[in-house]
Amino acid sequence: MRILLVEDDPDLSDVAATHLRDQSHAVDVVGTLKMASAAVAGVTYDLILLDLGLPDGDGVDWLGRQRRAGQQAPVLILTARDQISQRIRGLDAGADDYLTKPYDLHELGARVRAIGRRHTASSALQLGAVRIDLSAHRVLLEQREVRLTSREWAVLEALALRPGHLVTRARLEDALFEFGAELESNVLEVYISQLRRKLGRQMIETVRGLGYRLGFGQEAG
């Protein structure tokens, strides 16, 4: 998933981002609400991890404004505010879940996976001989596990979240790259080619000039 982490503590954000990246998520980190607003205006995120006590305002107020403006990305609040009233306020503003600091990194990963399952029509897809388990981050080809790199998984996951539908190049590139990453002009094609080699050319269809579509039984372009 492409995740936005809004956290002003650099040590905590570094540890959390590293843990999530190790689980094949792409993570952008910002430390203010102003930067968060700029981030969500330019990128479609699958999940926002939101601290509440930020240097330029209150995270709950920001979340409420984002929801009123039509922002639909699920939000997991991460905060040291453990009062019941604060949790209720955050959930009422549009948060999907709440995790109190200090939190265990493995619990954070589990909460992220749980939110991903709730916002996905199906956590497992069977496409011919290929089975994609989104919650477990596993791919099987004829019952044998296929090893994917983190970026190969990021592309496949973005396609698998909308099976049979066009996924634009921009959306796939968003899934691949965090802010500051170098973007080679043909890098998406490289990962698509690697996935086809591992899973079969018919798995990913090219929609020329627009993007790609995950399916089965159609020859890849």
Element (H, E) at 132: strand 130-133
129 Cβ contact partners less than 8 Å away, ≥ 6 residues apart: 141, 142, 200
Q: If you average pLDDT over residues 88-107, what whole number do you get? A: 92
Q: If you average pLDDT over residues 200-212, what whole number do you get? A: 91
Whether residue 69 sits in one domain with residue 53: yes
CB environment 158-188: b (16+ within 10 A), e (fewer): bbbbebeeebeeebbbbbbbbeeeeeeeeeb
Asked whether residue 217 carries a pLDDT value surpassing 50, the answer given is no
Give the Cα separation of 54 and 78 in Å (integer): 11
> What's the mean per-residue pLDDT of the chain?
88
Count of domains forming the chain:
2
Report whether 45 contacts 4 (CB < 8 A).
yes
Whether residue 128 sits in one domain with residue 113: no
| pLDDT band at 124; cut points 50, 70, 90 | confident
pLDDT value at residue 178: 63
Whether residue 132 sits in one domain with residue 114: no
| pLDDT band at 24; cut points 50, 70, 90 | confident
pLDDT value at residue 218: 41
Report whether 182 contacts 26 (CB < 8 A).
no
- What CATH number should be reported for the domain holding residue 83? 3.40.50.2300
| pLDDT band at 182; cut points 50, 70, 90 | low
pLDDT value at residue 121: 54
Structure tokens at 54: 């930020």
Residue 219 is assigned to a structural domain of this protein: no
Asked whether residue 154 carries a pLDDT value surpassing 60, the answer given is yes
Domain extent for 14: 2-118
Asked whether residue 119 carries a pLDDT value surpassing 80, the answer given is no
Whether residue 143 sits in one domain with residue 76: no
162 Cβ contact partners less than 8 Å away, ≥ 6 residues apart: 214
pLDDT value at residue 221: 36
Whether residue 94 sits in one domain with residue 76: yes
Total Cβ atoms within 10 A of residue 195: 24
- What CATH number should be reported for the domain holding residue 135? 1.10.10.10
pLDDT value at residue 120: 65
Whether residue 23 sits in one domain with residue 105: yes
Choose the final residue of a domain: 118, 145, 169: 118
Q: If you average pLDDT over residues 98-116, what whole number do you get? A: 91
